[in-house]
Amino acid sequence: MRVNFTSIDGLAFAWTVFRARTGAFVRLAVIDSLAAFALTVMFYAMAGAAYAAFTGAVSVDEPAAEAVTAAAGAFIAAAWPVFVIGIIMRLFIEAAWLRLFTRGETGGLLPFRFGPDEVALALSALAVFGVLCAAYIGMTLVLVLPASLAGGFLATLAGAVMLAGLIWLSVRLSPAMALSLRLRAFRVAEAWKGTRGLFWPLFGGFFLAVLASLVLGMLAMSLSMMTGGGANLQARFAEAGWAALVLPFLFQQAGAIISAALMRGVASKAAIAIDEAGQGLAGE
């Protein structure tokens, strides 16, 4: 199976999707931003004070272990509902994005549903996460810990090998979620097989996307700081409520939407190329 994919194809795919379905892209970006803003307001309302207390406990010159532990526990207790809601929201929003990127489906005004797409996406995400966690733990136990006992160059080399291995695995598995959603089924194995021989084109696409994201991120962060974002945001939220978050959030979210689209575009283009090279896996 020969997969037709280049780094430039992957990097440019987000722009291709935007030009082909601009209305749907903008609508999803607005929905994504509104959901993220609601989650941000919820976080500051429910866990902002606990987060400020935790950062205060760890930022002193000599943090007290008991104080840090207590502050961390209070923060987790306050923030876990926000994290759970965020994960669920992200599943539905990402499924809508991937339907647009991999199948060209716009989905109407509110492009959300619960069905095979969301199940395939959730299962493939859990599988990829599980593989990466298992690889990290395995390489730590087998490679890094023994090398750290020896110290010096061996410890540095072991860390570099582990990092390279995790990057290799991440790149090889990167189209798994997009391919699973495109085909409405769990297709992690097909993604792994399809990326054989594609590591460097995929890596190049993600590398270029990360570079562009870094530039956009620095610009967005600068604009956010100029409009009141930063370390004092919790205090401003306590004084002025959600309105204090609007401008800083808008600049940060614009950068995040574009950066995510670039990364999603690389994975989605690879998934489409794998499916096309497999002569219509969607019909299996």
**Spatial CB neighbours of 24, under 8 Å, sequence gap ≥ 6:** 100, 106, 107, 111
pLDDT digits (tens, 9 = 90+) for 47-84: 877 887 887 777 777 777 777 888 888 888 888 988 99
Select from 43, 95, 83, 37 the least CA-distant residue to 253: 37
Give me the chain's average pLDDT, please: 85
Provide the pLDDT for residue 264.
Answer: 96
**Spatial CB neighbours of 5, under 8 Å, sequence gap ≥ 6:** 198, 201, 202, 269, 270, 273
Longest dimension (CA), the chain: 62
Could you give the CA distance from residue 252 to residue 217 in angstroms, rounded to a whole number? Answer: 7
Per-residue pLDDT band for 138 (boundaries 50, 70, 90) equals very high
Percent of the chain's residues with pLDDT above 90: 47
For the chain, the first-to-last Cα distance in angstroms comes to 16
pLDDT score of 174 more than 60: yes
pLDDT digits (tens, 9 = 90+) for 225-274: 665 555 455 555 555 555 556 666 777 778 889 899 999 999 999 999 99
pLDDT score of 213 more than 90: no
Could you give the CA distance from residue 172 to residue 183 in angstroms, rounded to a whole number? Answer: 18
Percent of the chain's residues with pLDDT above 70: 87
Mean pLDDT, range 206-216, rounded to an integer: 90
Coil/strand/helix, residue 57: helix
Provide the pLDDT for residue 63.
Answer: 72
Provide the pLDDT for residue 147.
Answer: 80
Q: Cβ(270)–Cβ(10) under 8 Å?
A: yes
CA 254 to chain CA mean position, Å: 15
Q: Cβ(270)–Cβ(13) under 8 Å?
A: no
Per-residue pLDDT band for 180 (boundaries 50, 70, 90) equals very high
Which residue, chain included where needed, has tokens 């409520």? 241
Higher pLDDT, 189 or 216: 189
Provide the pLDDT for residue 64.
Answer: 76
Q: Cβ(104)–Cβ(21) under 8 Å?
A: yes
pTM of the model: 0.82
- The domain segmentation of the chain, as residue ranges, is 7-283
